[in-house]
């Protein structure tokens, strides 16, 4: 069995951005650029006003108050008015183009208007935004690899791009295996069954990591059916997530269902919980097998699935796998031979392991906020000692 670090390194080595596609800029929120964004226009497109007021020649304000004749108007969206002669002013509004010759905008609060004449009491600031003061046509505004958060998306749209080239979102199929599993809400009427509790959460995590869930199925442990489903999943997905059936039970078919073409990236990891986790490929499709025990499934999803989806989507896969250090709020017993990830909660800024570390627990998952990392054979440590953790 390989170590957790080795398994994470192997996962990161295949968590590489998918190919590029063009999408409408309006639909590109949170996508990752596959090519730089280059400005198609200047911003601002012309010398323009930063305030509502009067465009003037600064030289005309040398003696105050200054009386100027208003010869026109300029609104945002209109063409620039004719050139401004000495002694004249143009009524202007925020974002509107300045007439040639004007180099100053007096805010209207500093002016008195009487018919065609405006009297300027105080010059104030210039209030002029120069053409291309924000960016120039042809400037590279965003590098490939940039995630289009709100700010970056404003830049792409402001650059006058109808479409942007982004990394394709991974298509993810989630397959839950187990004869005992039924949809939430129907277990109470069917003895021997339990609610299938993993796939809704896994689907949410996939979407949050930048993936697209294209199919989610709940499957009985029948190898011939599973094989047919696996073939279809491999054809349509970039990544297939299989839960359950990862162990050595007589009906554990998660690996056999993919047939002899399944090529392992790793198979089992020396960690607790989550030892049966595995990652492989069939042709160009990745397949990640998560153990069925709910706590094991979410711990391995946190460590392997989320970064893998993020990496395929062009995001920083390794960025979510950084271990941090915090002080323990309780003592920890000596650890066994498998590296252990304790589900923990915060008590102020202290980390406290949850009461149950059973890998089948569902309830504990609701309060798990961090994973404490305990190396194999680590000795007991007391409250107040530092521990490595990762947000969960």
Binding site for ligand LQZAQKY5 (CB under 6 A): 176, 178, 180-181, 194, 196-198, 243-249, 252, 273, 275-276, 291-294, 296, 359-360
The per-residue b/e assignment along 64-81, b for 16 or more CB within 10 angstroms, e otherwise, is eebebebbeebeeeeebb
Burial class (CB in 10 A: 0-12, 13-18, 19+), 222: middle
Surface-to-core class of residue 300, CB atoms within 10 Å of its CB (0-12 exposed, 13-18 middle, 19+ buried): buried
Quick one: tokens of 160? 């006058």
Between 21 and 217, CB nearer to ligand LQZAQKY5: 217
CA distances from 61 to 71, 86, 126, 314 (A): 17, 11, 12, 56
For ligand LQZAQKY5, which is the closer residue by CB, 291 or 314? Answer: 291
Using Cβ positions, the residue closest to ligand MOO within the complex turns out to be 296
Q: 83-106: b or e for each residue (b if 16 or more CB lie within 10 Å)?
A: ebeeebbbbbbebbbbbeebebbb
Alpha helices in the chain (DSSP H): 4-14, 150-158, 199-208, 223-236, 294-300, 306-312
* Shortest distance in whole angstroms from residue 167 CB to ligand MOO: 32
Q: To the nearest whole angstrom, how small is the minimum distance from the Cβ of residue 321 to ligand LQZAQKY5?
A: 21
- Over its C-alpha atoms, the chain yields an Rg (Å, rounded) of 31
Give 253 or 278: the residue with its C-beta nearer to ligand MOO.
Answer: 278
Residues of this chain that bind ligand MOO (CB under 6 A): 272-275, 291, 293, 296, 359
Q: Which residue is nearest to ligand LQZAQKY5 (CB)?
A: 292
Q: Which does 246 bind (CB under 5 to 8 A by kind): ligand LQZAQKY5, ligand MOO, none?
A: ligand LQZAQKY5
Q: Which does 250 bind (CB under 5 to 8 A by kind): ligand MOO, ligand LQZAQKY5, none?
A: none
Q: What residues contact residue 360 under an 8 Å CB cut-off, 6+ apart?
A: 293, 294, 295
**What minimum distance in Å lies between the beta carbon of 20 and ligand LQZAQKY5?**
34
From the CB of 204, what's the least distance to ligand MOO, in Å? Answer: 21
User: Judged by CB, which is closer to ligand LQZAQKY5: 60, or 221?
Assistant: 221
- What residue 280 binds from ligand MOO, ligand LQZAQKY5, none (CB within 5 to 8 A, per partner kind)? none
Nearer to ligand MOO, 8 or 171 (CB): 8
């Amino acid at each position: 069995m390989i170590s957790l670090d080795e398994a994470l390194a192997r996962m990161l080595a295949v968590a590489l951005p998918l190919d590029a596609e063009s999408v409408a800029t309006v639909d590109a929120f949170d996508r990752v650029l596959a090519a730089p964004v280059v400005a198609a226009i200047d911003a601002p497109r012309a010398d323009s006003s930063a305030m509502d007021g009067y465009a003037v020649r600064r030289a005309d304000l040398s003696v105050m108050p200054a009386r100027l004749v208003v010869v026109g108007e300029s609104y945002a969206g209109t063409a620039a008015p004719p050139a401004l002669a000495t002694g004249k002013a143009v009524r202007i509004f925020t974002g509107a183009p300045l007439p040639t010759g004007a180099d100053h905008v007096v805010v209207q609060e500093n002016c008195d208007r009487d018919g065609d004449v405006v009297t300027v009491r105080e010059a104030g600031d210039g209030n002029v935004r120069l053409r291309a003061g924000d960016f120039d046509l042809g400037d590279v505004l965003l590098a490939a690899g940039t995630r289009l958060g709100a700010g970056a998306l404003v830049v792409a749209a402001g650059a006058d791009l109808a479409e942007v080239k982004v990394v394709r979102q991974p298509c993810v199929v989630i397959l839950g295996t187990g004869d005992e599993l039924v949809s939430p809400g129907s277990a109470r009427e069917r003895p021997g069954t339990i609610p299938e509790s993993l796939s809704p959460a896994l689907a949410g995590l996939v979407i949050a990591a930048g993936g697209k869930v294209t199919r989610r199925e709940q499957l009985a442990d029948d190898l011939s059916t599973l094989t047919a489903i696996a073939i279809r999943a491999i054809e349509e997905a970039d990544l297939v997530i299989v839960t359950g059936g990862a162990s050595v039970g007589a009906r554990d078919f998660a690996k056999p269902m993919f047939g002899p073409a399944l090529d392992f990236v790793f198979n089992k990891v020396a960690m607790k919980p989550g030892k049966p986790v595995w990652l492989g490929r069939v042709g160009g499709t990745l397949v990640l097998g998560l153990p069925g025990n709910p706590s094991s499934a979410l711990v391995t999803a946190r460590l392997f699935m989320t970064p893998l989806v993020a990496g395929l989507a062009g995001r920083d896969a390794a960025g979510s796998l950084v271990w941090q250090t915090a002080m323990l709020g309780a003592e920890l017993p000596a650890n066994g031979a498998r590296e252990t990830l304790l589900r923990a909660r915060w008590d102020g800024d202290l980390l406290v392991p949850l009461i149950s570390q059973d890998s089948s627990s569902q309830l504990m998952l609701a309060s798990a906020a961090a994973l404490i990392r305990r190396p194999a054979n680590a000795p007991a440590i007391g409250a107040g000692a530092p521990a490595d953790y990762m947000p969960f």
